[in-house]
Amino acid sequence: MGEQIDGALTLEGTDYLFEAKWEKDPTGSRELDAFAMRVGRKLDNTLGVLLSINGFSEDGVQAHSKGRPNLILMDGADLLAVLEERIDFVTLLLRKKRHAAHKGEIYLPVHRMID
């Protein structure tokens, strides 16, 4: 039986697996670990994009920003910025990816990009 992924896309030679969490509490380390493991079993040019409507626990973000991360994190503010057309999804994703590649931080809040 296959693993359920909410969506997938390919952009500029990178494959992205997308998962969304619509839960009241911020997404924690355990959920990030599970998604990172699923992404890690894919080809090397695959990254995971996790949208958590209510954000992420600080310990989860820190734990997954170490080593060789394979996740990019988005929250409800990112989604709202896209829906309000303050930034388009492709630009948002590519800027988050570039930031993660340069700084090792997998979570870059949208307000740091467009304010």
Query: Does the reported pTM lie above 0.85?
Result: yes
- Assess whether pLDDT exceeds 60 at residue 1: no
Does 2 reside within a domain? Answer: no
Does 98 reside within a domain? Answer: yes
Model confidence pLDDT, tens digit, residues 61-113: 888 888 788 999 999 999 999 999 999 999 999 999 999 999 989 999 999 98
d(CA 37, CA 17) in angstroms, rounded, equals 12
- Assess whether pLDDT exceeds 70 at residue 3: no
Does 1 reside within a domain? Answer: no
Does 50 reside within a domain? Answer: yes
Model confidence pLDDT, tens digit, residues 14-47: 999 999 999 999 999 999 999 999 998 998 889 9
Q: Which CATH number fits the domain that encloses residue 38?
A: 3.40.1350.10
Residue 21 lies in domain:
7-114
The domain tally of the chain equals 1
Percent helix, strand and coil across the chain, each to the nearest 5: 40, 25, 35
